[in-house]
Amino acid sequence: MRDGYVVLPLRQDGAEWIGVERKHAQYPGPTPAEAQALIRAWATELAAADPEAAKDEQIQQAMTTLQVKAVDNCEVIRKSGILHCEATLSLPAKPAIKTDLKFALDGKGWRYVPR
């Protein structure tokens, strides 16, 4: 038997779940607000655990001013079960940043997975 996660491409239609062709399956990730909260929580935990990280400008921005504007085109990495999404981030007085974000879904909900 192969190792990895099996992801069934389903979508909710009212109260029922309907199968979707795999080649067109889109996996919903966290909302931009959820992603932003997850990144801030991660950065805050990192800063609390590592005084050097707390001094890093990017960690400070992640804790305070970073905004997640969009989370799109999510796909599951089969070997790990991690959700890999395209995202648009913004910081004050800077152009929009296109990047990839990773998340894991566990019993408590979404969790940000740093690079």
Strands, E assignment, 1-115: 10-13, 16-19, 67-77, 82-90, 97-106, 109-113
pLDDT at residue 2 in the model: 57
* Successive 10-residue mean pLDDT values, the chain, 115 residues: 63 76 68 96 95 92 94 85 92 93 88 91
